Chains A and B, each alone.
Chain A
Amino acid sequence: MPSDGHWLRRLAGVALVGAGILFCIAGHANGPRFFPDDPLQVDRDTDLDASGVTEIEDGNLWDFVSNTFFTPGDDSDIPAVNVNTIDEVPDSSWFVNRIGKRPVTVDEIVRGPDLVPALSVDGWPIVQGKDTGLQPGFRIADPTGHLYQLEFDPPSNPEMATGAEIIGTAFYHAMGYFVVPVYLVEVDRDSLTISPKATIKDITGKRRRLEKPDVDEVFRRAARQPNGKYRALAGRFADGVQVGSFRYAGTRPDDPNDVFPHEHRRELRANRVFAAWLNHDDSRGLNSLDMLEERDGRKFIRHYMFDFGSIMGSGTAFAQSHRAGNEYILDWMEGVKTGATLGIYLRPWLRVKYPDVPPAVGRFEGDYFDPEGWKPEYPNPAFRNMRPDDAFWGARIVAKFSDDIIRAVAAKAKYSDPRATDFIVGTLIKRRDKVLRTWLNQVNPASDFELGPDGTLTFGNAAVETGAATPPSAYTLRWSRYDNTLDRHVPVGDEVRVTGPRASTPREALSGTDYVSLEIRAEHPQQPRWARPTMVYFRRENGGWKAVGIERAISTKPESIRLRQASPVVVPAKQKKDDR
């Protein structure tokens, strides 16, 4: 007869198994890995009413201090939190997929956010001074009362800052960001009028009446054309009410829609790729807009990228400094080395010889440029958190800007000296190619996976297709049937090796399952990181298969590819006092 101990041990075993089952259910109480609407194409982050938001004050000095001497935001090495299951960014109030996702004509890219083909500001009165930024300018109003900001080039570099703004706006719009429309205009100083209600903030911060000497002071600092007129950039104020700018860390505590910490947003992390390409060293929260808009009786915030006067060779009021893009404003280690050696130690970028170019170019080059070493003016929390998968996403967008597109966008800047256009185009192409070679090869670049109804797998290689690398010697594939509820892979067959981007799926992998997973690696002697596995998930839909999940490993550790969770990818934001 079994002893009491025997029965108790049996009971303990049953309890353990039961607890295990219960734990499995509890562990997925938030849902399966893939939902029916995966991959999400639109993040409806304007659905909740945000009318309670108030303006959040910001300043250059605080932005510099907080990012230079502190480390705002979370710096965990985690995947971007707002990507969908195929590692793409859904459309949202932050970003709309354009050139990266759908065919876009050159005309559309060049037009960018423009509402009209051309703009004339003749007869528009000056209504306000310009209190912020380096560029001289003032604000005017169109006949409907809509505000525009007029900005001029510095006398030392005519056409430089206005040209940079035109080009930067077109590029960032094409990438997918929200930007304000900007137009090149010609201003006749003598025909300007000042509205009797025009005001300007004086040095004490008080508003007073704007007078002719204030306007004269602006033109004193502006480049004048040979015909006596002034070339200017007219930037249309964004719709809505400005409630501050967004920061690259934390979330807005007053916006219910803002749940993804900004330092972990893919489109903000990957902005480092775009910023490096275009030398946008001024990529910081101050150069953004949070605009409170209203639609269907509900208010929400739309987030804009703003102010591209300091990109490429333009430093807005002067040519870009030699340090720009090469070093932070305060780089302690370089300072120690230079100080301790009495200046004998030379920062490498001090030796860069910039070519003799028209003043409209400023200071810009592509030979010394190193995408990975590129830095903005001071640390940016999202840039800091950029991972190889973020950079890969960004580089794929940069790859869409062909030589012809770059040439067409540069032409929009209407430089009077064709050498300026040619140099800018050539340099942007050179930098683009470096960006692609750097960041398309840091992960396995196999992409655009398709699984036909007959089980034929086809895919692309983002690095090969853009000329950033030569084809691999082979791809290795491992198929599994995938249980979406239990998050379990059941391997099918042996590992398969193919030499091209095409393969047949084992029949056993496709039968009796709604999900199939594929682990794919690439072999390339010069690209060791291609060996990092990418996991692809397909779901049976409408008689065929649809790719619903992509996970790119950024290291060779197997567990690194199982990072996605079934629950909404929301990292609770700690609302620290000096953080958002």
Chain B
Amino acid sequence: MHVRRTLAPDLVRTAWLAMAIVSLPASAWAQAPQSRDEALRKAREEKSKQVAHYAPGTLEKYVLKLENDKILARLAQGSDKGFYPYFHTIVSGSGIAVGPAYRNRLLFGRQGTLNVILAGSLKKYWMVDGSIDFARLADNHAFANVHLRRRGLPQEDFFGLGPDSTQSDFVSFHAQDTLVGAFGGLRPLPHLAIGGGVDYLDVTIGHGKDRAVPSIEERFTEATAPGLARQPAFLMSQAFIDLNLRAPSGNPRTGGQYKLTYTWFSDRTFDQYAFRRLEGEVQQYFSAFNQRRVLALRARVLVDDPEPGQQVPFYLMDPLGGSHELRSFRRYRFRDRNLIMLQAEYRWEILTALDGALFYDTGKVEPRRADINFRDLETSWGFGIRLGTNQRVVLRFDAAIGGTGKPHYLLRFNHAF
């Protein structure tokens, strides 16, 4: 007896080989190149049969259009002359206002810039604003500006006056104002501006349009909200001195700013609401590790001094609370004649164009100047993210806690300070 190996596996193997040889591509049997130069030429000739115009992908097309049509640059700095879309808030809490705007930077041989804006928001805030600005006169040693503005602010917040105003007194009021004026000044040194201005201001206060809260007249009177019953026209005269050594100015990491402003509000209608305002502000920036770590400090003090027997209208009191000061509180949470505000913010670079921030705001308002001190201050603290360039912050997100106990989230298109 012998073992019979099956032939099938051998035959199958041979059959596969035969098929493989027969099925070799014809190019395998073609004339091989005789030189390296020839081989390269053949490769290029092969390609020449398939050349085609470059076809960018969809994403590439859009990104190239964004850049080569200078869309981003136009959004950032705008064209020298022409219409552009306005896309910004009118005041804090107005919501984004949109509308047509016109700019002409070529006036008087590029010395002057005309700007006209018509804008409105979904919350029915609106604005008409026109100005001619001369930012750099006399080889940057002088500046001037004339302006005209009219606004409708239908849902402004009010909580009453004083440091002890309560959340439960939250009301809204409608304000419509007209501002016409001019200012100008000198720059004796590159970072020092000294100047002044005159403005005509006419404000009308009315029924608040925020349906979620009562209107101001339902909770407050002339006694508890001076200027509620009637609103005069004001002539505002102002003088200021401003030493700005912040660098870079739009997103500072070093230096400081020291500013003093004196304004006289003259009641031209009733002679009941005239007052003088003195405001001082100091910002100081300390940086380390090639300016990648920044400690930003800010202090602001404001004192309103009414003429004897007169009042400061509530709507002209500088409020605390909102996206720039005491960030865990609603906008305009605290109002009174005098104010002190202290802020500290630690900023660190996470990535190029992205900074993290830890902040601490503290301050208060008081009816009496003597009570402006460091006692009984309201506080808020939190963390945030800033997106921007060396020259400016374009997006800021802050999560603020304190005071009310509830976190307050903010998304803004500018720096806190």
Which of B36, B52, B70, B349 sits near A204, CB closer than 8 Å?
A: B70
A221, B374: Cα distance in complex, Å: 46
Taking a contact as CB atoms under 8 Å apart, the answer to whether B10 and A351 are in contact is no
If A62-B63, A338-B350 touch, whether A16 touches B14 (CB-CB below 8 Å) is yes
B residues near A35, Cβ cutoff 8 Å:
33-36, 39
Interface residue ranges of B15-61 to A (CB < 8 Å): 17-18, 20-21, 24, 27-30, 32-37, 39-45, 47-48, 51-60
What's the tally of chain A residues with a CB closer than 8 Å to chain B? 75
Closest chain B CB from A45 CB (angstroms): 7
Closest 3 CB pairs of A and B: A343-B348, A256-B48, A568-B39
If A37-B36, A350-B290 touch, whether A259 touches B47 (CB-CB below 8 Å) is yes
23 A-B pairs in the complex with CB atoms less than 8 angstroms apart: A5-B4, A8-B10, A16-B14, A19-B17, A19-B20, A30-B32, A44-B41, A45-B40, A54-B53, A57-B56, A58-B64, A62-B67, A202-B80, A254-B52, A254-B54, A256-B48, A335-B350, A338-B348, A338-B349, A350-B289, A568-B36, A578-B56, A578-B60
Taking a contact as CB atoms under 8 Å apart, the answer to whether A253 and B53 are in contact is yes
Interface residue ranges of A538-580 to B (CB < 8 Å): 567-568, 570, 575, 577-578, 580
Interface residue ranges of A27-84 to B (CB < 8 Å): 28-31, 35-38, 40, 43-45, 47-48, 52, 54, 56-62, 65-66, 84
Closest chain B CB from A158 CB (angstroms): 18
If A30-B32, A38-B36 touch, whether A8 touches B11 (CB-CB below 8 Å) is yes
A342 at the interface (CB under 8 A from B): yes
Name the residue in A31, A35, A204, A254 with the highest tally of chain B Cβ atoms < 10 Å from its Cβ.
Answer: A204
If A204-B70, A342-B356, A350-B292 touch, whether A44 touches B40 (CB-CB below 8 Å) is yes
Closest chain A CB from B81 CB (angstroms): 8
Name the residue in B20, B40, B64, B72 with the highest tally of chain A Cβ atoms < 10 Å from its Cβ.
Answer: B40
Which of A5, A47, A332, A339 sits near B44, CB closer than 8 Å?
A: A47
A159, B351: Cα distance in complex, Å: 30
Taking a contact as CB atoms under 8 Å apart, the answer to whether B110 and A213 are in contact is yes
If A204-B82, A335-B351 touch, whether A578 touches B57 (CB-CB below 8 Å) is yes
Taking A22-B21, A253-B54 as given, write out 18 further A-B residue pairs in contact, using a Cβ cutoff of 8 Å, ordered by the A residue number.
A5-B4, A31-B34, A35-B33, A48-B45, A48-B48, A56-B54, A58-B64, A254-B52, A254-B53, A330-B352, A338-B348, A338-B350, A339-B350, A342-B348, A342-B358, A351-B289, A567-B39, A580-B54
Interface residue ranges of A128-150 to B (CB < 8 Å): none
Taking a contact as CB atoms under 8 Å apart, the answer to whether B24 and A329 are in contact is no
Taking a contact as CB atoms under 8 Å apart, the answer to whether A322 and B290 are in contact is yes
A58, B63: Cα distance in complex, Å: 10
If A213-B110, A254-B52, A335-B351 touch, whether A47 touches B41 (CB-CB below 8 Å) is yes
A346 at the interface (CB under 8 A from B): yes
B residues near A52, Cβ cutoff 8 Å:
51
A357 at the interface (CB under 8 A from B): no
A residues near B292, Cβ cutoff 8 Å:
322, 343, 347, 350
A40, B41: Cα distance in complex, Å: 13
B residues near A85, Cβ cutoff 8 Å:
36
Closest chain B CB from A553 CB (angstroms): 23
A458 at the interface (CB under 8 A from B): no
If A8-B7, A29-B30, A254-B51 touch, whether A330 touches B44 (CB-CB below 8 Å) is no
A486 at the interface (CB under 8 A from B): no
If A330-B351, A338-B348, A343-B356 touch, whether A16 touches B17 (CB-CB below 8 Å) is yes
Chain A, residue nearest B358 (CB): A342
Taking a contact as CB atoms under 8 Å apart, the answer to whether A19 and B21 are in contact is yes
B168 at the interface (CB under 8 A from A): no
Interface residue ranges of B313-354 to A (CB < 8 Å): 346, 348-352, 354
A213, B136: Cα distance in complex, Å: 13
B69 at the interface (CB under 8 A from A): yes
A52, B36: Cα distance in complex, Å: 26
B395 at the interface (CB under 8 A from A): no
B78 at the interface (CB under 8 A from A): yes
Taking a contact as CB atoms under 8 Å apart, the answer to whether A15 and B44 are in contact is no
Taking a contact as CB atoms under 8 Å apart, the answer to whether B358 and A204 are in contact is no
A580, B106: Cα distance in complex, Å: 43
A11 at the interface (CB under 8 A from B): yes
A29, B30: Cα distance in complex, Å: 7
B residues near A322, Cβ cutoff 8 Å:
290, 292
User: How many residue pairs at the A-B interface have CB separations less than 8 Å?
Assistant: 187
Chain A, residue nearest B69 (CB): A205
B residues near A252, Cβ cutoff 8 Å:
54
Taking a contact as CB atoms under 8 Å apart, the answer to whether B54 and A61 are in contact is no
Of the four ranges (under 10, 10 to 19, 20 to 34, 35 or more), the interface on chain B belongs to 35 or more
If A44-B41, A342-B356 touch, whether A203 touches B33 (CB-CB below 8 Å) is no
Interface residue ranges of A355-408 to B (CB < 8 Å): none
A residues near B18, Cβ cutoff 8 Å:
15, 19
B137 at the interface (CB under 8 A from A): no
A residues near B28, Cβ cutoff 8 Å:
26, 29
Chain B, residue nearest A38 (CB): B36
B residues near A38, Cβ cutoff 8 Å:
36
Chain A, residue nearest B288 (CB): A350
Bitwise interface map of A from 245 to 275 toward B, beta carbon under 8 Å scored 1, else 0:
0000000111111110000000000000000
A residues near B45, Cβ cutoff 8 Å:
48, 256
A residues near B56, Cβ cutoff 8 Å:
57, 577-578
A residues near B229, Cβ cutoff 8 Å:
none
A35, B32: Cα distance in complex, Å: 11
A507 at the interface (CB under 8 A from B): no
A255, B67: Cα distance in complex, Å: 26
Taking a contact as CB atoms under 8 Å apart, the answer to whether B351 and A202 are in contact is no
A36, B39: Cα distance in complex, Å: 12
Taking a contact as CB atoms under 8 Å apart, the answer to whether B44 and A256 are in contact is yes
Closest chain A CB from B18 CB (angstroms): 7
A494 at the interface (CB under 8 A from B): no
A residues near B53, Cβ cutoff 8 Å:
54, 253-254
Which of B7, B33, B66, B293 sits near A568, CB closer than 8 Å?
A: B33
A331 at the interface (CB under 8 A from B): yes
Chain B, residue nearest A82 (CB): B40
Chain B, residue nearest A55 (CB): B54
Bitwise interface map of B from 75 to 93 toward A, beta carbon under 8 Å scored 1, else 0:
0011110100000000000
Closest chain B CB from A145 CB (angstroms): 27
Closest chain A CB from B305 CB (angstroms): 43
A351, B289: Cα distance in complex, Å: 6
Chain A, residue nearest B356 (CB): A339
A331, B351: Cα distance in complex, Å: 7
A85, B24: Cα distance in complex, Å: 29
If A16-B14, A338-B348 touch, whether A256 touches B47 (CB-CB below 8 Å) is yes
A residues near B109, Cβ cutoff 8 Å:
213
Taking a contact as CB atoms under 8 Å apart, the answer to whether B44 and A48 are in contact is yes
Chain B, residue nearest A15 (CB): B14
A574, B387: Cα distance in complex, Å: 37
A323 at the interface (CB under 8 A from B): yes
B residues near A490, Cβ cutoff 8 Å:
none
B411 at the interface (CB under 8 A from A): no
Taking a contact as CB atoms under 8 Å apart, the answer to whether B293 and A343 are in contact is yes
A252, B42: Cα distance in complex, Å: 18
B residues near A29, Cβ cutoff 8 Å:
27-30, 32
Closest chain B CB from A566 CB (angstroms): 9
Chain B, residue nearest A258 (CB): B47
Taking a contact as CB atoms under 8 Å apart, the answer to whether B10 and A9 are in contact is yes
Taking a contact as CB atoms under 8 Å apart, the answer to whether B67 and A61 are in contact is yes
Closest chain B CB from A357 CB (angstroms): 16
B74 at the interface (CB under 8 A from A): yes
